[in-house]
């Protein structure tokens, strides 16, 4: 396992050159001391592709100047933060534990330390205590310790470092760096509890203007790390011409006489066999090099490293001058290369918007892994399969146990009806052409790329199959199953409740869903059956239209001198809790009946799911409620389910999918009482339709300087007042101003 670390004296300012060193060495672990990071710098701004981030910022300085430590660990390594276990109160440290997927192999504890030259005696004692605790483990510790008076060749020290040297000796640690790392001093150290664990310690030059050497070494694990053997289709070598030849058959003759199950089986087998023959596999590779990084930058960075090593040996002033010249060249080259790439990206935004927005998103969010998770008994779960099972158990636990729907049924409220869907070859072909070839296949194994490339050919059999499915109310078994990806939302990463399940389902199923969705949506819009308060998942409606409409209402009231109260409502696991029987009642009420409604009912029922964590699967669990998140039809069905929540309200309501706010002008307590009555009606609706609110997460925002801040309650629970609320990504304040926060969108 390769490790590199350095004292960089501000990572943010040197990040681009730092990436070049990572690209050259491809280390498994990267440590950074004196990061100078602070809370206003997000992980997305310092992420390295293929690595997870652990960081500890220094909290007692202005804008983070000074101190701070960070670890990058490859995603393929099973690693958890155990800082609380080993820090002993020392302020600038990180401790992680690496598991090797083998019960017979002892986990490895990895620590990174930054000890300030001005560290007080109490802080030093905390550091020594950390070494005492970790000495019984299989461990390696590295970082900037700032003990210049220790001679590591003779293991002697002046008064300044004597206690630390004693702590190292008492713990039977071996120190492996035996050359100066800053000027003539050996300040950056690598210590291990096993003297044979570390080898090939070397200096890699300096990063930017930092006066510390970059240190690299190899770590002997004595066990193979959990790597990824994942393979993907190699589209660069795909032969789609041959694929089209193989798929050009008399589909009508093959399928017309078959039942729906047999027709699907024949189609699936032919398409998957063709994919295997025409598109080879390759091993999936995660690149840790940013897309702007050119070979020229890497060559220049390697040359800079060679110049440094030559100077370290010769101590010649001419060699130092050559090094400084190369250092300046690398600095300017990195800046120019990145700037040129970003300018070109912006220049081509109209012809290639996908690349532009992908690059911007990469700077806004970090794709982080799952866990470790807290088990049912409070234990920390780190095994990938155990985490998958734990998450699936939680996801299943929130499903609604539906009570009888008798008494809620009645005939359609309108004369219009939709009962059938027509699948034309042209329509299906257009749907196939619109598929994104880069997306993953579902459980049936049919890749969207083959559907996209062979759309004109495959639209013929799919029309036949879709019609058979609809006419016979049939859903294949591999359309009823889903591989669920847990997506972290916010809060404590160790709690399963803070993850959202997103289902990866059959791509072919999504094509059929899309045709049905278009038919239903046209019917609903043409007949004015969807309330205008809904802005989610609808054409010409968005977060922006939701916010503009809401803010206009509030602004007009405030301009007239009135106060406004807004209640932000929170549904509890809304998409997962939709009771299926009640959903079908609502479809019938809107005139959605016949084979269309029957097929939707069949598609929703009898489902099962398993959770996937880093390629490890949980056991299968039955899905008894909810619309699948990640499906095409699911969002529209959810809108239909909550559509009548507006009924009988006298106050205004605004929705974006399940994000709901109830508000009205409040000139006096009578107005507030009317708003409370509407809140009571919403609670009554939630009880009838088994779509519960989470009262603890419902908030009240009082607008206007003369607002008397009435207390609102939900079934007796007083709702919390807030001074600002994040509404669809925009922070709303009582006077529509900006609160004293940074780096967020406000209104």
Q: Does domain 2-226 have CATH number 3.40.190.10?
A: no
pLDDT of res. 741: 44
CATH class name, domain 530-578+626-747:
alpha beta
pTM: 0.79
Angle at CA of residue 222, ends 217 and 226, nearest 5°: 90
Neighbour count for residue 189 (Cβ, 10 Å): 23
Question: Where do the domains of the chain lie?
Answer: 2-226, 234-283, 291-368, 373-529+579-625, 530-578+626-747
pLDDT of res. 747: 40
Mean pLDDT by 10 residues, the chain (747 residues): 94 91 92 92 88 86 74 88 90 89 79 93 93 94 96 92 93 94 94 93 88 92 59 88 95 94 96 94 77 90 90 89 91 92 90 83 74 80 89 95 66 63 94 91 94 96 96 95 91 88 94 96 94 94 94 93 95 93 94 94 96 92 93 96 94 95 95 97 95 94 92 95 92 72 41
pLDDT of res. 743: 41
Sign of the alpha-carbon torsion through 266, 270, 273, 275: negative
pLDDT of res. 251: 95
Angle at CA of residue 29, ends 26 and 31, nearest 5°: 115
- d(C-alpha 731, C-alpha 725), whole Å: 5
pLDDT of res. 290: 82
Does the N-terminal peptide bond of residue 383 adopt cis geometry, omega within 30 degrees of 0? no
Q: Give the CA distances from residue 272 to residues 240, 421, 434, 552, in Å, rounded to whole numbers and listed in that order.
A: 13, 28, 20, 54
Whether 95 and 110 have beta carbons less than 8 Å apart is answered as yes
pLDDT of res. 208: 84
pLDDT of res. 233: 86
- Report the candidate in 722, 647, 668, 658 with the shortest Cα–Cα distance to residue 694: 658
Whether 15 and 36 have beta carbons less than 8 Å apart is answered as no
- Report the candidate in 243, 248, 269, 247 with the shortest Cα–Cα distance to residue 258: 269
Whether 679 and 712 have beta carbons less than 8 Å apart is answered as yes
Q: Output the six-digit token pair for 545.
A: 């239209």
Q: Output the six-digit token pair for 555.
A: 């602004």
Sign of the alpha-carbon torsion through 452, 456, 457, 461: positive
- Report the candidate in 424, 415, 426, 640 with the shortest Cα–Cα distance to residue 537: 640
Angle at CA of residue 17, ends 16 and 21, nearest 5°: 120
- d(C-alpha 350, C-alpha 346), whole Å: 9
- d(C-alpha 715, C-alpha 719), whole Å: 10
Whether 662 and 679 have beta carbons less than 8 Å apart is answered as yes
């Amino acid at each position: 396992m390769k490790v590199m670390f350095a004292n960089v004296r501000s990572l943010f300012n040197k990040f681009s050159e730092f990436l070049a060193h990572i690209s050259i060495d491809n280390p498994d672990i990267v440590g950074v001391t004196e990061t100078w990071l602070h809370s206003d710098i997000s992980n997305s701004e310092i992420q390295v592709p293929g690595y997870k981030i652990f960081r500890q910022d220094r909290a007692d300085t202005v804008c983070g100047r000074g101190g701070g430590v960070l670890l990058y660990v490859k995603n393929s390594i099973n690693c958890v933060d155990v800082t609380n276990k080993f820090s002993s109160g020392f302020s600038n440290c990180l401790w992680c534990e690496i598991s090797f997927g083998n019960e017979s192999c002892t986990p490895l504890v990895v620590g990174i330390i930054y000890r300030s030259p001005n560290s007080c005696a109490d802080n030093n004692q905390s550091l020594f205590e950390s070494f005492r605790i970790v000495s019984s483990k299989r461990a390696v510790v590295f970082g900037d310790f700032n003990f210049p008076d220790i001679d590591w060749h003779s293991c002697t020290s002046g008064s300044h470092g004597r206690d630390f040297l004693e702590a190292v000796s008492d713990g039977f640690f071996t120190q492996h760096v035996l050359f100066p790392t800053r000027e003539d001093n050996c300040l950056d150290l690598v210590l291990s509890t096993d003297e044979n664990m570390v080898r090939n310690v070397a200096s890699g030059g300096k990063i930017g203007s930092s006066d510390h050497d970059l240190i690299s070494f190899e770590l002997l694990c004595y066990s193979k790390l959990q790597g990824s053997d994942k393979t993907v289709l190699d589209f660069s070598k795909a032969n789609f011409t041959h694929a089209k030849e193989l798929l050009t058959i008399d589909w009508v003759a093959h399928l017309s006489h078959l039942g729906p199950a047999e027709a699907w089986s024949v189609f699936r087998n032919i398409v998957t066999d063709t994919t295997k023959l025409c598109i080879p596999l390759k091993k999936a590779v995660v690149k840790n090099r940013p897309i702007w990084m050119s070979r020229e930058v890497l060559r220049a960075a390697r040359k800079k490293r060679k110049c440094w090593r030559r100077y370290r040996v010769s101590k010649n002033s001419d060699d130092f001058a050559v090094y400084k010249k190369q250092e300046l060249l690398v600095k300017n080259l990195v800046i120019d290369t990145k700037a040129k790439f970003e300018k070109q990206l912006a220049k081509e935004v109209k012809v290639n918007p996908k690349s532009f927005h992908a690059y911007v998103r990469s700077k806004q969010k970090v794709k982080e892994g799952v866990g470790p998770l807290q088990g049912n008994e409070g234990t920390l779960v780190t095994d990938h399969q155990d985490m998958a099972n734990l998450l699936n158990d939680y996801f299943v636990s929130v499903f609604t146990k539906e009570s009888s729907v008798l008494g809620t049924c009645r005939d359609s409220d309108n004369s219009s009806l939709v009962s059938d869907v027509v699948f034309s070859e042209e329509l299906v072909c257009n749907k196939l052409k619109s598929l994104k070839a880069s997306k993953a296949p579902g459980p049936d194994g049919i890749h969207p790329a083959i559907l996209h490339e062979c759309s004109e050919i495959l639209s013929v059999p799919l029309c036949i199959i879709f019609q058979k499915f609809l006419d016979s109310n049939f859903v294949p078994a591999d359309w009823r199953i889903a591989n669920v990806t847990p997506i972290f939302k916010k809060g404590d990463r160790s709690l399963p409740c803070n993850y959202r399940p997103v289902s990866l389902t059959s791509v072919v199923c999504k094509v059929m869903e899309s045709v049905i969705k278009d038919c239903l949506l046209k019917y609903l819009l043409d007949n004015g059956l969807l309330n205008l308060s809904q802005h989610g998942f609808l054409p010409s409606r968005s977060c922006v239209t939701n916010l503009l409409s809401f803010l206009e209402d509030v602004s007009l009231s405030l301009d007239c001198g009135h106060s406004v109260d807004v209640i932000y409502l929170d549904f509890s696991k809304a998409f997962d809790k939709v009771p299926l029987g009640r959903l079908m009642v609502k479809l019938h009420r809107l005139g959605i009946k016949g084979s269309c409604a029957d097929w939707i009912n069949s598609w929703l029922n009898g489902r099962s799911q398993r959770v996937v964590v880093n390629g490890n699967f949980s056991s299968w669990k039955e899905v008894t409620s909810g619309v699948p998140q990640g499906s095409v039809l699911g969002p529209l069905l959810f809108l239909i389910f909550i559509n009548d929540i507006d009924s009988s309200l006298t106050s205004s309501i605004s929705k974006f999918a399940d994000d709901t706010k109830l508000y009205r002008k409040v000139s006096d307590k009578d107005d507030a009482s009317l708003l409370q009555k509407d809140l009571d009606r919403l609670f009554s609706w939630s009880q009838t339709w088994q779509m519960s609110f989470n009262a603890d997460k419902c908030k009240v925002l009082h607008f206007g300087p003369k607002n008397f801040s009435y207390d609102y309650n939900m079934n007796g629970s007083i709702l919390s007042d807030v001074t600002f609320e994040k509404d669809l990504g925009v922070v709303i304040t009582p006077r529509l101003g900006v609160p004293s926060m940074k780096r967020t969108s406000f209104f």
